[in-house]
Chains A and B, each alone.
Chain A
């Protein structure tokens, strides 16, 4: 009974948000296009034969960057920006009265956006294969399944981190600048611009203790068929989620106690 109710809620939320997102499909198409940086990076790598030094062939590297593009497309999170706006505008107050954590609403928003984004990402991938026909490959179902899971886990990690940052809105008015700060290491260390395998030793020695390589590098390696430790990667992703979730719960309950609506 209870579980049915929850399912119903999530289903309705998803449906509402999906139709909402379809309204803004052009906007989402533009978002998808703005994620093409990995392809430019690939161009630098292959055009200068930089991949010889890291022992990854041209084809594997182009698959890696295509997968990095895909993983990024389905793990983009912007909850802090939505929450900041809602909290500044005082929209959080009505949400708090409802018997539903507002972050579930944002979560549904993100999932709905990903569904809307899928066709655009596929179109971009199609063009990628038109220009690079030799890198075409079909991953087997097991790998596809596992990498979908690890992409989703990567999305969850980023969603939790950003939700924790978003909760700082209860204390400061501009939490999004903290997010912009966190985005810099995400950009350079996650493997979006260069595979972690190419990093110098002094970075590789500590980077695997941070969540960054598990955001893009690990799922992209998994999907593209490059060498990676599947079980290790997945379990570390889960460990990060298990570590971050209690932090979010704590900061959320502390924040809502602190919350005062505008004008009080």
Chain B
């Protein structure tokens, strides 16, 4: 591992994929409108839930907006990095072009996870941050250094968990070849991340914190943001993120042993 080499390669990745994406300028504009409408739509849905109730699962509307903000940031990151790259694995396996990736003198997971970038997700990330800043105002949160570092750490852990989930599902392609729709299943489950975990029934809560840790992805960072999270939860999130990252890496290396290239 040579960090400088990887950095240099990554800058080249950025350059080529930005150049190719900017070919479709109108497309980026449409994607931007989609991101704005999507946020408006989910706030609209949230307002329907709150129109008669003061709180849902113990969360007030202003507090639930924080979850929306964090979800929007994470969704933007998914659209910028995970979605364009990890759906590509399916194509690589189906057409046998994974051979070319494996032959390169560079880590295959690095190559596959970061090759492409979709700039229209940036706006979504920015929208999410704006919403969060607005939330600090309406929830009267005073920003200080320890609060910011904790929020940042939990957010980074969420990104790691999210990445590992995507990578896990995409890796199964090596056996099943067409897992396009498996990522779609994950996407629809992740949709739950827009709402506080406590608003679901007990059995679903267990499901979404043990089997698919969506609870960790948005609810814990939001709790940290509000300053109501216990310390053990933050530690747990950190541990879960590490376990996920580590095991997804191991899983990829294990799966590669079964890769037989196309038509062989």
Which A residues lie at the B interface, using CB under 8 A? 24, 26-28, 30-31, 33-37, 40, 43-44, 46-50, 52-53, 172-174, 177-178, 180-181, 184-185, 187-188, 193-194, 198-200, 203
Given the known A-B contacts A43-B204, A181-B34, are A48 and B48 also in contact in the complex, defined by CB atoms under 8 Å? no
Which residues of the partner chain A approach B166 to less than 8 Å between Cβ atoms? none
In the bound complex, do residue B57 and residue A48 qualify as a contact, i.e. CB atoms below 8 Å apart?
A: yes
Which residues of the partner chain B approach A177 to less than 8 Å between Cβ atoms? 27, 30-31, 34
Nearest CB on A from B25, distance (A) = 11
Given the known A-B contacts A43-B201, A48-B57, are A34 and B185 also in contact in the complex, defined by CB atoms under 8 Å? yes
Which residues of the partner chain A approach B200 to less than 8 Å between Cβ atoms? 40, 43-44, 47
Nearest CB on B from A146, distance (A) = 28
Residue in chain A with minimal CB distance to B199: A44
Cβ of B56 within 8 Å of any chain A Cβ, yes or no, is: yes
Seed contacts A36-B188, A44-B200, A50-B52; 7 additional CB < 8 Å A-B pairs:
A27-B178, A40-B204, A43-B204, A53-B51, A180-B30, A188-B44, A200-B51
In the bound complex, do residue B47 and residue A187 qualify as a contact, i.e. CB atoms below 8 Å apart?
A: no
Nearest CB on A from B93, distance (A) = 14
In the bound complex, do residue A48 and residue B199 qualify as a contact, i.e. CB atoms below 8 Å apart?
A: yes
In the bound complex, do residue B48 and residue A27 qualify as a contact, i.e. CB atoms below 8 Å apart?
A: no
Pick the residue among A44, A174, A188 that contacts B56 (CB under 8 A). Answer: A44
Cβ of B45 within 8 Å of any chain A Cβ, yes or no, is: yes
In the bound complex, do residue B180 and residue A184 qualify as a contact, i.e. CB atoms below 8 Å apart?
A: no
Which residues of the partner chain A approach B141 to less than 8 Å between Cβ atoms? none
Nearest CB on B from A89, distance (A) = 13
Residue in chain B with minimal CB distance to A39: B204
Nearest CB on A from B154, distance (A) = 24
In the bound complex, do residue B47 and residue A37 qualify as a contact, i.e. CB atoms below 8 Å apart?
A: no
Nearest CB on B from A233, distance (A) = 22
Q: Number of residues in B with C-beta < 8 Å to the partner?
A: 38
Nearest CB on A from B80, distance (A) = 15
Secondary structure of the A contact surface, majority rule? helix
Cβ of B130 within 8 Å of any chain A Cβ, yes or no, is: no
Nearest CB on A from B76, distance (A) = 15
In the bound complex, do residue A180 and residue B34 qualify as a contact, i.e. CB atoms below 8 Å apart?
A: yes
Pick the residue among A30, A44, A48 that contacts B181 (CB under 8 A). Answer: A30
Q: What are 21 contact pairs spanning A and B, CB under 8 A? A: A26-B178, A27-B178, A27-B181, A30-B182, A35-B188, A37-B191, A44-B56, A44-B195, A44-B200, A47-B199, A48-B199, A49-B53, A52-B52, A174-B24, A177-B31, A180-B34, A187-B41, A188-B45, A194-B45, A194-B49, A200-B51
Residue in chain A with minimal CB distance to B204: A43
Which residues of the partner chain A approach B184 to less than 8 Å between Cβ atoms? 30-31, 34
Residue in chain A with minimal CB distance to B34: A181
Looking at B179, B187, B191, the one whose CB has the most chain A CB atoms below 10 A away is: B191
Which residues of the partner chain B approach A31 to less than 8 Å between Cβ atoms? 181, 184
Nearest CB on A from B188, distance (A) = 4
Cβ of B9 within 8 Å of any chain A Cβ, yes or no, is: no
In the bound complex, CA of A188 to CA of B45 (Å): 7
In the bound complex, CA of A49 to CA of B55 (Å): 11
In the bound complex, CA of A49 to CA of B57 (Å): 11
In the bound complex, CA of A50 to CA of B48 (Å): 9
Which residues of the partner chain B approach A53 to less than 8 Å between Cβ atoms? 51-53
Pick the residue among A46, A180, A184 that contacts B41 (CB under 8 A). Answer: A184
Nearest CB on A from B20, distance (A) = 12
Chain B residues numbered 28-58 whose CB sits less than 8 Å from any CB in chain A = 30-31, 33-34, 37-38, 41-42, 44-45, 47-49, 51-53, 56-57
Pick the residue among B30, B185, B187 that contacts A178 (CB under 8 A). Answer: B30
Which residues of the partner chain A approach B240 to less than 8 Å between Cβ atoms? none
